[in-house]
Amino acid sequence: MMKKIILMAVIALVSFTAHAQADIEFKTESIDYGQIPKGSDGVRIFEFTNTGNEPLVISDVKSSCGCTVPEKPKGPIQPGETSSIKVKYDTKRVGKIRKTITVYSNAKEPIKALKIKGEVLSDKSVLEKTE
């Protein structure tokens, strides 16, 4: 009898959790820097909204490379609220940008991959393109 009560409680808890959930919706999942000069501003913002019915908690944000530093929001994002993840790319590194920022949260999709791309041009190639 006790096993049946515990089983019923677990089933009730699981079904409740399946309906009450945070959900994360990004305005865009990819940012294109385009061609930018060496040493220019490398900060970009990924905006998102919690479209679920529970507070959204972003537990971690990681980059595929040390040249890209992501910054997660502090504290939970309430249902319907908008927040952002700031990403700073080291624009002293000349060449193509192809990086992934991975967001870990309590959302329906708990792991989300965001992309940045573009190209950092050397000072010389910027001058050649403007002439």
pLDDT band at 65 (very low <50, low <70, confident <90, very high): confident
Helix (H, G, I), strand (E, B) or coil at 65: coil
pLDDT of residue 124: 58
The DSSP symbol for 66 reads T
pLDDT value at position 88?
Answer: 96
Residue 131 has pLDDT above 50, yes or no: no
Could you tell me the pLDDT band of residue 127, with boundaries at 50, 70 and 90? very low
Q: Residues with Cβ < 8 Å from 92, sequence gap 6 or more?
A: 38, 39
* Dihedral angle, C-alpha 64, 69, 75, 76, nearest 10 °: -40
- Dump pLDDT digits (tens) for 71-116: 999 999 999 999 999 999 999 999 999 999 999 999 999 999 999 9
Determine the pLDDT at residue 9. Answer: 62
Kindly state the average pLDDT of the residues 42-71.
95
Phi (first) and psi of residue 125, to 5 degrees? -70, -25
Question: Domain 2-121 classified CATH 3.30.413.10?
Answer: no
pLDDT tens column, 2-25: 676 765 666 665 555 456 789 999
Whole-structure pTM value: 0.79
Please enumerate in sequence order all residues whose Cβ is within 8 A of that of 120, keeping only pairs 6 or more positions apart, or say none. 33, 36, 37, 38, 40, 91, 93, 94, 95, 97
Instruction: Give the number of other Cβ atoms within 10 Å of residue 24's Cβ.
Output: 21
